[in-house]
């Protein structure tokens, strides 16, 4: 496990509870930050919620971008390796689902597996989906961002903001689009997949491919909304996380 300073750089507490049953660790989408999950974190009354802050953005903007999902996940898993005073659930959206998947794989290998993995807004890891978005010019790249709805249209027209957010977004897209899952890679923890019905990046059949990635329980739920459905419509996802924690802890009792 790294130093407290290293840990604080990567793992940001978003909400606390008086007597938390578990920790929920949230992994952002491409270009996203830990604070993206701030409002979502407030939905949980008895979980301690944290967001992962990737390098190359906001207060870490002067750090180098990582070269691959595997490199990024390896650093995070090393930091989390001995952090086991509470059970942990991992949740990732879009690219964050891939990072959380790779982190889970590493934690399992060291005997410190999380209770479960929640993968939102992402096709199964075995389905390589390189659309070359990271290679597009700025105008085409921004049209892609507008399609997903992750940034307000007013932000996409602010040159100063774009100068800050475009580099990490493009670097993250490169990692996600060039990611290749190791053949036959499987977890033993439950995988719960959640997608928006109007998500232009993943359909139900593609999301169902996550089932191949675990020998444990698998569930798939669809929600009203798009790629970031849970920002406005997160009740069922919140319920699913709480239910998975309760079931896992009951099974261990």
Spatial contact of 137 and 212, defined as CB atoms under 8 Å apart: no
Every domain of the chain and the residues it spans = 4-127+183-252
Token duo for residue 48: 């301690």
Bridge-based pairing of strands 218-223 and 191-196 is parallel
Q: Is 94 a catalytic residue?
A: yes
CATH code that applies to domain 4-127+183-252: 3.40.50.1820
Name 223's Cβ contacts closer than 8 Å, sequence gap at least 6.
194, 195, 196, 197, 229, 230, 233, 236, 237
Given the residues 15, 33, 94, 244, the one annotated as active site: 94
Provide the 10 A C-beta neighbour count for residue 217.
Answer: 13
Q: Global pTM? A: 0.92
Per-residue pLDDT of the chain (253 residues; tens, 9 = 90+): 456 778 889 999 999 999 999 999 999 999 899 999 999 999 999 999 999 999 999 999 999 999 999 999 999 999 998 788 999 999 999 999 999 999 999 999 999 999 999 999 999 999 976 677 766 777 777 777 777 765 544 555 666 767 777 888 899 999 999 999 999 899 999 999 999 999 998 999 999 999 999 999 999 999 999 999 998 889 999 999 999 999 999 987 6
């Amino acid at each position: 496990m790294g130093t407290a300073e290293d840990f604080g750089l990567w793992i940001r507490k978003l909400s606390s509870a008086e007597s938390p049953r578990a920790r929920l660790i949230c992994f952002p989408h491409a270009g996203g930050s830990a604070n993206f999950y701030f409002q979502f974190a407030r939905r949980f009354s008895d979980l301690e919620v944290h967001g992962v802050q990737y390098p190359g953005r906001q207060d870490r903007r002067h750090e180098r971008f990582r070269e691959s999902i595997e490199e990024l996940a390896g650093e995070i898993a090393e930091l989390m390796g001995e952090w086991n005073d509470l059970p942990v659930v991992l949740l990732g959206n879009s690219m964050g689902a891939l990072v959380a998947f790779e982190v889970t794989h590493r934690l399992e290998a060291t005997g410190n597996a999380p209770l479960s993995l929640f993968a939102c807004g992402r096709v199964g890891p075995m389905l390589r989906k390189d659309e070359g978005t990271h290679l597009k010019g700025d105008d085409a790249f921004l049209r892609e961002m507008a399609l997903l709805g992750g940034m307000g249209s007013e932000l996409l027209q602010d040159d100063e903001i774009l100068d800050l957010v475009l580099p990490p977004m493009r670097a993250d897209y490169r990692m996600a689009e060039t990611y290749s899952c190791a053949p036959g890679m499987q977890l033993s923890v439950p995988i719960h997949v959640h997608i928006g019905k109007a998500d232009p990046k993943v359909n139900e059949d593609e999301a169902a491919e996550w089932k191949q990635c675990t020998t444990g329980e698998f569930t798939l739920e669809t929600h009203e909304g798009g790629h970031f459905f849970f920002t406005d419509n997160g009740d069922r996802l919140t319920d699913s996380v709480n239910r998975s924690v309760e079931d896992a802890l009951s099974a261990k009792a």
